Structure 1
Amino acid sequence: MIELIFPDGSKREFAEGASGRDVAASIAKSLEKKALLVKLDGQLLDLDRPLPGGGAFEILTRDSAEALEVIRHDASHVMAEAVQELFPGTQVTIGPAIEDGFYYDFARETPFSLDDLAKIEQRMKEIVDRDEKIVREVWDRDEAISHFKSIGEAYKAEIISDLPADETITVYRQGQWKDLCLGPHLPSTKHVGKAFKLMKLAGAYWRGDHRNAQLQRIYGTAWASEADLEAHLTRLEEAEKRDHRKIGRAMDLFHLQEEGKGMIFWHPKGWTLYRTVEAYMRRRLDEDGYVEVKAPQIMDRVLWEKSGHWQKFGQNMFTCETTEGEILAVKPMNCPGHVQIFNHGQKSYRDLPLRMAEFGACHRYEPSGALHGIMRLRAFTQDDAHIFCREDQIEAESTKFIRLLESVYADCGLELHSVKLALRPELRFGTDEVWDVAEAKLERAALAAGVETVEMLPGEGAFYGPKLEFHLRDAIGRTWQCGTLQLDYVLPERLEAEYVAEDGSKQRPVMLHRAICGSMERFLGVMIENFAGAFPLWLAPTQVVVATITSDADDYAHEVARTLRAAGLRVEIDLRNEKINYKIREHSLAKTPVIAVVGRREAEEGKVALRRLGSDGQNILSLAQAAKTLASEACPPDVARGVAGAAAASATVSAEVMEAG
């Protein structure tokens, strides 16, 4: 007999060889019908596979996130079967589930076309309707290699040949079609459902190596229900409208070109947006007790070897050799430079924590295929800072940082969605004991800062320490990882950072590597898509366009522009000989927040008609009132808080003076 422990803590015994289906049926026939998979001691198993033993047991139905991943994997198998039925002679290679969907790589001489996707999708639905049973089979290694070679599946035979000698070879039979696969899978193809759609074609190299044969990849998306599929397609449509590259062109913010691959050509409006966010971040850092520094852009290989970056990151660094034989590297990150500044001159325990910030320009080699607009670049700027502190200050400094990060995201119209803790990678510096301490301290710091749950990411940490990843959520529900907080005992040791403790001894500081925006460019890309280019007034590159109805108002338009600029607003003038409705439409498409319309009447009365983006109405104000109102609205949120705080403090002082008098 085997003993199973259910999620509610109850225990039951079952006969040896019982399957997950048997267990589900023993509980309720309705549960058996809903069951798709089971989980035994954390391992997913096919519903009809005999349970290998007892342990913690769970039955998974369609609404499970883990079941959804298997639905997507099965959808890739159904697609592969459909392709081989429609296009005989096509070889299959690999077809995993991925975020939101699946793909399969095919070897075929004739390229697939977009028209083929509709045919494949239709055949997939027919295979679902066939309700083909999916059965796990264990094969002999040599028999499997021989079989796949005999049916022309050279890639599958190669995969099997490269598997470890003790690996169990499993083949899943799906009707008459079969595929080498580790599994698990659903009981039959009907359980895949029809909430899937093939999305696009792409090229891929066998095993990701450009020296190997080129394959054709078909991507698809699959969901547990038609409603989920429709919601996903709607999100994709909305994301397409918000694509920062399209909006960047439409608003004349920036451009990218081959001669500067992975680097941005900022246009005046885009650079205004950049400087506005940078100035905001500088004010927040000043307020939070940071000092700003600037380290060299290029440093000798010797420093990068001492820090460990050369060994771990050298292939991603841009280097050059001087005529004197020096090997120099353009910095891919800022931390070694900051340690050098810390090391210059003796530091005392009284100097800690020392919060050292830099908007550091970094360069990293990224393959061409990995580049994506301004989200993934070779040249970018990090809003980087390193906090040098004592061990007893880690929790307080981490809490302080998380509070700042949450406030910045809120000011920028973004929401902190989740926090994840990236744990020690396989290749790392430092002992396991050091990593044990660092991981535990960073988790405690996050919880002390009010983070309700911290998801663990095994193997995802930096080579010198674990890191907290801060994932934010945008207006259409997408999540982005921007902010990080890394706890590092290793780099101070390698670069010999030290301070004089209260007892006069020399001690190593702890380093907290932290960023809020991460890459400034990527953060701006996220914000462009979050707002779809319709920025709040304080962020908008052009805040007001003064547009004339007739040429009679040209002189007054200049007066309006001067007055608004004097109030601190970013203003443009449109004096073109075009109809006002045409001007309004054009500036609305350019996402201008406010259009100040002026004609002969406004000039005579000293007024302006303000039209807001997204509104058909207008608000007629005196020029002085318009300047005051718009200047107040355009005040950055941190400055507005400071003004409000100063006003409240002044009012309190006045009240106390009056009371004392």
Structure 2
Amino acid sequence: MSYDHRRLGRELGLFDTDPLMGAGLPYWLPDGAVVRHVLEEYVREAERAAGYRHVYSPVLGKRELYEISGHWSHYSEDMFPPMRLGSEEVVLRPSLCPHHALIYRSRSHSYRELPLRIAELGGMYRSEPSGVLGGLTRVRAIQLNDAHIFCTLDQAVEEARAALRLIQRAYDDLGIRAAGYRLSLPSRDGAKYVPDPALWHRATALLEEVLDGFDYQAAEGEAAFYGPKIDVQIADPAGREATLSTVQIDFHQPERFDLHYIGPDGARHRPVMVHRSVIGSVERAVAHLLETHGGAFPLWLAPVQLAVLPVAEDQEQQAADVVRRARAHGIRADLSGPLDGTLGARIRATRFVPYQAVIGEREADGDLVAVRLRDGRRPGAVRVEELVERIAVGDRDRGAELWADA
């Protein structure tokens, strides 16, 4: 079945838009904010485990910053116009990498510190034409899962390979799959790209080494302006491909920002900058998750994991207690009482929730709940503690199976 994330997102109350906010600037509703928060925390946790340190940097920068990075000369058509602040011009950033280069440059570094992995979930802004905007897949305000690894030349290939492994592991946890891998190269005429053939040759050779053993396609004209990149492609239900995750090896910006580290010989050496994004933009990731899962998010990502439904008003107190106990275990539980409609209507309204716990008179008397799963299975009556434990374990382990022995 084919799903459209724009329809699903509105039906499930995840996000919406308003003309007064503007095209390409969606806002997140409470349930969508839950999905976004859980996804962001998942990425941060995975990055911390992989040795990344997190930073925050401003969404504005002086025009001079992007002149140094090369964005102004190669990418300004996709940037918002500068804003005048006194005698200075500031710009909404189109990328996080110049900021991270400055963070690296703010301290001296020894080869013993490398690789230094800096990560940020940060906002960036692209002046996209209105004709290409759509839902969450093409927006003007982007929350990007970005990171930059500053390393020696000898470390660059392994760091890029490790980034690909991190991407693959995240896709497994998210229940999505890559449609293919692409080595994105400059166009033959070299237009819009940094004119440094040696730079392109070195970086391309290293990425080809990273991709050894992968089935990939080379694509001319798809590189970043400063270097080639590995694009991890996804496909929508209609088969249209888009890039979600990227890995890049960059010699350009370390040179432009005069980055260096002190080597074992006591001399200054230029680091290599590996760019990588595990899930790309949060917006595009959520859009793809919606279309992949048809709105039925994996348990650990679901906005509501447990819906508690008392049959009648007499069971509302017990139902509220089940919600309280579930929340005490970190479970996202909500109460849907008789005032919200008939039991059948409430079951239909919570059909995307992984677990439904129905409480009638018999269940209330025995501290039980009648469990229904969103896939239609009915394991029957179980003790509240058992259900809470099952959900908590499934959430922690990010398992796909809701009830293994049902």
The equivalent position to 1:598 in structure 2, one of 343, 356, 359, is 359
1:518 match: secondary structure: coil
* Residue identity opposite 1:439 in structure 2: T
Partner Cα separation in structure 1 for residue 160 and residue 86 of structure 2? 44
- Give per-residue Cα distances to partners, 1:596-617, cap 9 Å, x unaligned: 1001111101100110012153
Q: Which amino acid aligns with 1:561?
A: V
Distance 1:562 1:545, change over 3 A: same
Indicate how the Cα distance of structure 1 residues 393 and 430 shifts in structure 2: closer, same or farther if over 3 A, else same. farther
Alignment of structure 1 residues 36-47 onto 2, 5 Å: none
Cα distance change of structure 1 residues 567 and 475 upon mapping to structure 2, 3 Å threshold: farther
Corresponding residue of 2:231? 469
Deviation at 1:500, TM superposition (A): 0.9
| Structure-2 change in CA distance of 1:602 and 1:475 (3 Å) | farther
Partner of 1:582: 345
Partner of 2:278: 516
Shift of 1:592: 1.4
How many angstroms apart in 2 are the aligned matches of 1:529 and 1:253?
13
Partners in 1 of 2:93 and 2:72 — Cα distance? Answer: 11
> 1:546 aligns to what?
308
AA aligned to 1:446 is L
Name the SS of the counterpart of 1:484 in structure 2.
strand
Say which SS state the counterpart of residue 468 (structure 1) adopts: strand
- What is the CA distance between 1:636 and its match in structure 2? 4.6
Quote the sequence identity (%): 35
**AA partner of residue 284 (structure 1):** A
- 2:394 aligned residue (614, 621, 633): 633
Shift of residue 405, structure 1, vs aligned partner: 0.8
1:252 aligns with 2:13: yes
Equivalent position SS for 1:312: helix
Matched letter for residue 300 of structure 2: W
Contact 1:317 1:364 in 2 (8 A): yes
Residue 406 of structure 1: aligned partner: 168
The 5 Å alignment of 1:415-426 reads 415-425=177-187, 426=190
- For residues 393-419 of structure 1, the C-alpha deviation after alignment (integer angstroms, 9 at most, x for no partner) is 111111111111110001100123321
Q: Distance in 2 between matches of 1:476 and 1:537?
A: 26
| 1:440 aligned residue | 205
Q: What letter corresponds to residue 257 of structure 1 in structure 2?
A: D
Deviation at 1:318, TM superposition (A): 2.0
The aligned counterpart of 1:331 is 93
Q: Is the 8 A contact 2:299 2:398 kept in 1?
A: no
1:337-352 correspondence to structure 2 within 5 Å: 337-352=99-114
> CA separation of 1:403/1:347 partners in 2, compared to 1, >3 Å: closer, same or farther?
same
**Letter matched to residue 442 of structure 1:** L
1:122 maps to none
Cα displacement string for residues 78-133 of structure 1 (whole angstroms, at most 9, x for unaligned residues): xxxxxxxxxxxxxxxxxxxxxxxxxxxxxxxxxxxxxxxxxxxxxxxxxxxxxxxx
Q: 1:473 to 1:370 in 2, by over 3 A?
A: closer
Q: Is the 8 A contact 2:160 2:248 kept in 1?
A: no
CA contact (8 A) 1:414 1:474 kept: no
Per the alignment, in what secondary structure is the counterpart of residue 259 of structure 1?
Answer: coil
Partner Cα separation in structure 2 for residue 300 and residue 446 of structure 1: 37
Choose which of 487, 492, 507 in structure 1 pairs with 2:249: 487
- Return the alpha-carbon distance in structure 1 between the equivalents of residues 165 and 304 of structure 2: 31
Conserved? CA contact 1:347–1:500, under 8 Å: yes
* Residues in 2 aligned to 1:526 and 1:630: alpha-carbon distance in whole angstroms: 25
* Contact kept? 1:476, 1:530, Cα under 8 Å: no
Larger displacement relative to structure 2 (367-376 or 571-580): 571-580
Would the aligned equivalents of 1:443 and 1:454 in 2 still touch at CA under 8 Å? no
Note the alpha carbon deviations across 1:258-285, whole angstroms, 9 max, x for none.
2222112111100000000001001000
Partner residue of 1:621? Answer: 382
Alignment of 1:493-512 (within 5 A): 493-512=255-274
C-alpha separation between the residues in 1 aligned to 2:85 and 2:265?
Answer: 49
Q: Please say if residues 553 and 599 of structure 1, whose CA atoms lie closer than 8 Å, have aligned partners that are also in contact.
A: yes
- Cross-structure match for 2:330: 568
TM-score after normalising by structure 2? 0.93
RMSD: 1.6
Q: What letter matches 1:622 in structure 2? A: R
Which of 62, 87, 90 aligns to 1:300? It is: 62
Amino acid at match of 2:202: V
Aligned length: 394
- Paired residues of 1:429 and 1:464 also in contact (CA < 8 A): yes
SS in 1 for 2:143: strand
Paired with 1:256 and 1:531, the residues of 2 have a C-alpha distance of 22
CA–CA distance in structure 1, aligned partners of residues 342 and 379 of structure 2: 17
> Which letter does structure 2 place at the counterpart of 1:629?
R
Partner of 2:247, secondary structure, is strand
Q: Which amino acid aligns with 1:611?
A: R
Change over 3 Å in CA distance of 1:410–1:476 after alignment to 2 = farther
Partner residue, 1:431: 196
Task: Give the gaps of 5 or more residues in structure 2.
Answer: 400-406
TM value normalised by structure 1: 0.58
C-alpha displacement at 1:315, in angstroms? 2.3
* Matched residue SS, 1:286: helix
More RCO (CA 8 Å, sep 6+): 2
Where in structure 2 are the equivalents of 1:264-275 lying within 5 Å? 264-275=26-37
| Corresponding residue SS for 1:486 | strand
| Cα distance change of structure 1 residues 459 and 477 upon mapping to structure 2, 3 Å threshold | closer
1:96 is matched with: none
Q: Distance in 1 between matches of 2:398 and 2:110?
A: 36
Structure-2 residue corresponding to 1:16? none
Aligned equivalents of 2:278, 2:181: Cα separation in 1: 13
1:318 to 65, 73, 80: 80
Which residue identity does 2:206 align to in structure 1? K
Residues 1:594 and 1:637: Cα distance change in structure 2 (over 3 Å): closer
Aligned to 1:13: none
What SS does structure 2 have at the residue aligned with 1:319?
coil
Query: What CA distance in whole angstroms lies between the structure 2 residues aligned with 1:445 and 1:616?
Result: 45
**Aligned: 1:383 with 2:132:** no
Mark the structure with the bigger radius of gyration: 1
Q: CA deviation at 1:521?
A: 0.6
